[in-house]
């Protein structure tokens, strides 16, 4: 009897071992452990054994066999369950590398690169970075900068006017700033001198796009206000900037010019190592009327300002011959830099 029990147990264990799905394990659970299972059948025969000891021993053996088979079924069920889960997870997992292809890494746009480098160089020279709004009042953009009523830049022909008016302003007296110079006024009104700031930003003019003009472009403004600032400080700063930004082989010069908000005014050019000159921007000593508009006493404070195009610097540096390429966002162009 004991041998039969062991044989039935081993046969059951072998079947469990061969089961390859949760469903077949469940079927074995019923057939092996149910009333019609071989071990249950053997149990019914215990009563026919001759001695108490034999009954006892066989009974114990059947119970042990049932326990072993039950444990084997549970173990196999867990094993197959885990495998099934793993297979499911693997089947459903998204292979992202398949969609993305080989990983690519982006980088800053040409204009942003130039903007950030300019900031770095000026910070290195002791300047702080200031900001102003792109939608400006007529007063900040023109009036406070000594551009009176008749100034041509104030006409519809050059400037984009905005219908919206901030509280206290007349509609149609608000503009998309035509230069970064209004940040001069805002900075003077906001902080006490000494002031050493640069203000990079987007500016707008009513221009038809061509190879050298865009209705939207970028400038960087510089403003220094302190005691006893002279034109020599301006020239020295421009020269220090030129060498820091372009390299020691470059130099700069100032050429007389005119801006309503600086007096005297100058254009500044840089000389390339091959000897050729390139016009970079405008500059000059801050006009006394501008200091007054900024709430400063021209008898106490003096300063200089400069402004130039960021896009121009970037196109120059990378020999881009059409400024429109900087703004159309054609990936084939952008990826080159």
Residue at shortest CB range from ligand PHE: 307
Phi, psi values for residue 87, rounded to 5°: -60, -40
Q: Which one of residues 15, 38, 159, 181 is an interface residue with ligand PHE (CB under 6 A)? A: 181
Decide if residue 306 touches ligand PHE (CB under 6 A): yes
Q: Which one of residues 245, 259, 268, 301 is an interface residue with ligand PHE (CB under 6 A)? A: 259
Decide if residue 290 touches ligand PHE (CB under 6 A): no
Q: How far apart are CA 177 and CA 142, in angstroms?
A: 9
What would you report as the CA-atom Rg of the chain, rounded to the nearest whole angstrom?
43
Decide if residue 305 touches ligand PHE (CB under 6 A): yes
Phi, psi values for residue 185, rounded to 5°: -65, -50
Decide if residue 262 touches ligand PHE (CB under 6 A): yes
Give whichever of 9 and 218 is closer to ligand PHE, judged by the CB atom.
218
Structure tokens at 164: 């919206």
Decide if residue 141 touches ligand PHE (CB under 6 A): no
Binding mask 200-229 toward ligand PHE (x if CB under 6 A, else -) reads: ---------------------x--------
Q: Which one of residues 37, 182, 201, 282 is an interface residue with ligand PHE (CB under 6 A)? A: 282
Binding segment (CB under 6 A) for ligand PHE, from list 40-48, 50-58, 94-102, 277-285: 277-285
Contacts 24+ apart (CB under 8 A), 51-60: 54/1, 57/2, 58/1, 58/2, 58/5
Give whichever of 262 and 302 is closer to ligand PHE, judged by the CB atom.
262
Number of residues forming the site for ligand PHE (CB under 6 A): 11
Q: Which one of residues 193, 200, 303, 307 is an interface residue with ligand PHE (CB under 6 A)? A: 307
């Amino acid at each position: 009897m004991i041998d039969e029990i062991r044989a039935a147990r081993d046969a059951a264990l072998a079947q469990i071992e061969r089961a390859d799905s949760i469903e077949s394990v469940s079927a074995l659970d019923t057939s092996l452990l149910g009333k019609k299972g071989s071990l249950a059948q053997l149990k019914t025969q215990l009563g026919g054994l001759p001695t108490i000891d034999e009954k006892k021993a066989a009974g114990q053996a059947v119970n042990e066999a049932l326990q072993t088979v039950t444990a084997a079924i549970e173990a196999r069920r867990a094993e197959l369950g885990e495998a099934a889960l793993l297979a499911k997870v693997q089947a459903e997992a998204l292979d992202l590398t398949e969609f993305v292809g080989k990983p690519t890494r982006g980088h800053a746009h040409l204009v942003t690169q130039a903007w950030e480098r300019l900031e770095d160089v000026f910070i290195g020279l002791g300047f702080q970075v200031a900001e102003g709004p792109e939608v400006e009042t007529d007063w900040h953009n023109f009036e406070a900068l000594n551009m009176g009523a008749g100034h041509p830049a104030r006409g519809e022909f050059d400037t984009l006017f905005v219908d919206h008016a901030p509280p206290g302003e007349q509609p149609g007296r608000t503009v998309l700033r035509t230069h970064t110079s209004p940040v001069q006024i805002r900075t003077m009104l906001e902080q006490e001198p000494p002031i050493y700031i640069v203000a990079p930003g987007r500016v707008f003019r009513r221009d038809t796009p061509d190879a050298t003009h865009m209705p939207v472009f970028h400038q960087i403004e510089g403003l220094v206000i302190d005691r006893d600032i002279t034109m020599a400080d301006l020239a020295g700063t421009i020269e220090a900037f030129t060498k820091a930004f372009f390299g020691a082989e470059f130099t700069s010069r100032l050429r007389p010019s005119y801006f309503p908000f600086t007096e005297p005014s100058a254009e500044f050019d840089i000389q390339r190592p091959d000897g050729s000159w390139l016009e970079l921007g405008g500059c000059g000593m801050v006009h006394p009327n501008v200091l007054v508009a900024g709430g400063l006493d021209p008898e106490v404070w003096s300063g200089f300002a400069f402004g130039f195009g960021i896009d121009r610097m970037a196109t120059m540096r990378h020999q881009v011959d059409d400024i429109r390429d900087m703004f159309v966002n054609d990936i084939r162009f952008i990826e080159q830099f």
